[in-house]
Each structure stands twice: as C-alpha cells, then as structure tokens.
Amino acid sequence: MGAVSAVLGAPCGQRNVTLNREAFATARLVVAGRLDSATWRCALAEAAARTGLAEWEIEPTLASALQARRAGGHG
C-alpha cells in the first residue's frame, strides 16, 4: 500500500498530517469493501508507530478518517 510508504517517509512535523491524509484517502477502499478494515488499520497504525507517533495520536486519526468516509466524506 502506497499509503504506508508515505506515512513511513513523512518528515518530522508532518507525520500526523500525512497519516490523516493517507488514512482518509485509503478509507474509501475500506468503505467500498475493497480492503479489510483490520488490515487497513493495522498497516497504517504500524507505519505511524514506526515514525514515532503515539497510539493516542494514531487511533483517533484512523477512526476519524473511516467515520468521515462512511458518512460520505469526499476529498
């Protein structure tokens, strides 16, 4: 998943913004049934943790992205 690479390559100061952008972009695949939710969450959370983001930063970002896409968010 290119989103994982983007998160892993995010510079300090841009890690959470990058996670948010990539999570929102790829959550559409989860909502469409093309990507398993647990696989999506695990891959992005692991990448974010490897960059130094804390779980308290990661989980709300992923939940927010998925919730927005399920509500019909575009972007």
pLDDT in tens, 17-70: 999 999 999 999 999 999 999 999 999 999 999 999 999 999 999 999 999 999
pLDDT digits (tens, 9 = 90+) for 24-39: 999 999 999 999 999 9
- What's the pLDDT at 72? 87
Specify the pTM.
0.91
CB atoms within 10 A of CB 29: 16
Q: Is 66 exposed, middle or buried (0-12, 13-18, 19+ CB in 10 A)?
A: buried
Rg value, the chain, Cα: 11
pLDDT of 4 higher than 80: yes
